[in-house]
Structure 1
Amino acid sequence: MAKTLMKLTTIILTTLIVLLSLHPQMALSTGTEDTDEEEEEYVVDPPLFSHLRTRSRFLASKIIIKKGRRCDNSSVAHNICNGIPSSKGTGLLFCCKKHCRNVLSDKNNCGQCGHKCKQGERCCNGICTNVLFNGGSHCGKCNKKCSAGVSCDNGFCGYA
């Protein structure tokens, strides 16, 4: 009985892994939408803000804010990221749930704090965009254009 149960568990887990690898757009939600998959840093665009600290005294002209840095939107002194443009215009930082978020690319805070994109969508320039079947300029990810005459299916250009 134990061997049969072990084999059945192995088959189910293997099938699940294969299905998830075939459909990368499927995501398992853990209920912790406030966590980040990768660590990013945002370089604050000029003009420099005097209330922000630099990473080191040698980088006095460059102010860096780590993705997810704590902030307090109820306090002017501790709200270090609200509405600050960063990374040469590719980021716009807001204080969402006490953490700095880029509302131009964060799927949980797209365009504004708390606006979550649906399954199969990504936040492209602050707008939730279907990247699985996009005939325009966002195929599979933001700003990925397919060649002329090639359609975007399942997030791939020319998928057959």
Structure 2
Amino acid sequence: MNFLKLSFMLAMVLALAAITLSTEYTSQTSHFLPADHQMPTSFRGPGRFLAQNSRHAFTCDRHPKVCSMRGSQGPFCCNKKCVDVKTDKFNCGGCGKKCNYSKICCEGKCVSPLSNQKHCGRCNNNCGKGKPCVYGMCRYA
């Protein structure tokens, strides 16, 4: 009988803790969510129908201001993702413009860091006049 009482009390404490944590999480994250977004009512998360409807909540194609927030990957929206077209290898200079395997994106242009004089080894690493870029290093040999 004591074991049954103890089990019941433990279950009640855990349920109360879960409810408390759920309300704290809701109050802390509600200012990041759009006005029409609702938190899931189940501990398992939203159902399939609700998950399909709420996926678009934070994509930049529907909410362009997401890309200008602090912590964003970049100020431009390409394929529902925030990117910086000046440095992103898959959207270099514009959405969908990919750099080849051996090239990197510097200032919105695909360049070879192994031989480019202005971007030797990395972006904006200028070797200077008369110093060639060989294998991504200035003054090789």
Code of the residue aligned with 2:121 in structure 1: it is: G
Q: Identify the match of residue 71 of structure 1 among 47, 55, 59.
A: 59
Deviation at 1:132, TM superposition (A): 0.7
Deviation at 1:153, TM superposition (A): 0.8
Q: Distance in 1 between matches of 2:94 and 2:66?
A: 13
Runs of 4+ in 1 over 6 A off after TM superposition: none
Q: Distance in 2 between matches of 1:99 and 1:92?
A: 9
Q: Distance in 1 between matches of 2:134 and 2:59?
A: 40
Report what 1:149 is aligned to. 130
Higher Cα radius of gyration: 2
Q: Distance in 2 between matches of 1:142 and 1:132?
A: 11
Query: TM-score normalised to the size of structure 2?
Result: 0.50
CA-to-aligned-CA distance 1:3-57 (integer Å, 9 cap, x gap): xxxxxxxxxxxxxxxxxxxxxxxxxxxxxxxxxxxxxxxxxxxxxxxxxx8xxxx
> How many residues are aligned here?
84
Distance of aligned partners of 1:126 and 1:81 in 2 relative to their CA distance in 1, 3 Å threshold: farther
Query: TM-score normalised to the size of structure 1?
Result: 0.45
Report what 1:32 is aligned to. none
Give the % identical residues.
Answer: 41
CA-to-aligned-CA distance 1:44-100 (integer Å, 9 cap, x gap): xxxxxxxxx8xxxxxxxxxxxxxxxx5232x3xx12257x6x9xxxx9621112110
Q: Identify the match of residue 88 of structure 2 among 80, 102, 106.
A: 106
CA contact (8 A) 1:81 1:94 kept: no
* Root mean square deviation, CA, Å: 2.7
Bigger relative CO (Cα 8 Å, ≥ 6 apart): 1
| 3-state SS of 1:133 partner | coil
Q: Distance in 2 between matches of 1:111 and 1:81?
A: 20
Deviation at 1:149, TM superposition (A): 2.0
Give the gaps of 5 or more residues in structure 2: 1-31, 33-57
Counterpart check, 1:80 vs 2:65? yes
Alignment of structure 1 residues 6-155 onto 2, 5 Å: 70-73=58-61, 75=62, 78-80=63-65, 93-134=75-116, 136-155=117-136
CA-to-aligned-CA distance 1:121-157 (integer Å, 9 cap, x gap): 11111111111111x3110111101143221011111
Give the gaps of 5 or more residues in structure 1: 1-52, 54-69
